[in-house]
């Protein structure tokens, strides 16, 4: 399973080298805090995959709060032919911790 660290993703976002972000948390979680990207909750991801069909070969980074739901989403995407899917290690919690340590 391909992974990306919070530090690497933050650096890439800051440099404008952004992969497609897929946030698989529920909508209320997404609207409370997010780093952008598309929000398709894991609970409906299998039914909503057609939203991503144009991105089968694109680099996709799947994010959630802690990295567990996103790992499941990564497996679903890979099973449906998405070839370049990475899981954000530690999820958005890791991003928030990183931002706190920088301040």
User: Could you tell me the pTM of the whole model?
Assistant: 0.95
Contacts of 103 (CB under 8 A, 6+ apart): none
Q: With a cut of 80, say whether residue 19 has pLDDT above it.
A: yes
Element (H, E) at 22: strand 20-23
- Domains (ranges, CATH) in the chain? 3-102 (3.40.250.10)
Contacts of 102 (CB under 8 A, 6+ apart): none
Which tokens belong to 66? Answer: 């802690």
- C-beta of residue 97 within 8 angstroms of C-beta of residue 5: no
Q: For residue range 50-85, what is the model confidence (pLDDT) as tens digits?
A: 999 999 999 999 999 999 999 999 999 999 999 999
């Amino acid at each position: 399973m391909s992974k990306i660290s919070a530090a690497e993703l933050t650096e890439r976002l800051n440099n404008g080298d952004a992969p497609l972000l897929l946030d698989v948390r529920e909508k209320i979680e997404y609207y409370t805090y997010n780093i952008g990207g598309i929000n398709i909750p894991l609970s409906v991801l299998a039914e909503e995959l057609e939203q991503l069909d144009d991105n089968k070969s694109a680099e996709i980074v799947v994010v959630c709060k802690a990295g567990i739901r996103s790992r499941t989403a990564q497996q679903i995407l890979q099973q449906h032919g998405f070839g370049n899917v990475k899981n954000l290690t530690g999820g958005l919690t890791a991003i928030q911790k990183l931002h706190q340590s920088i301040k």
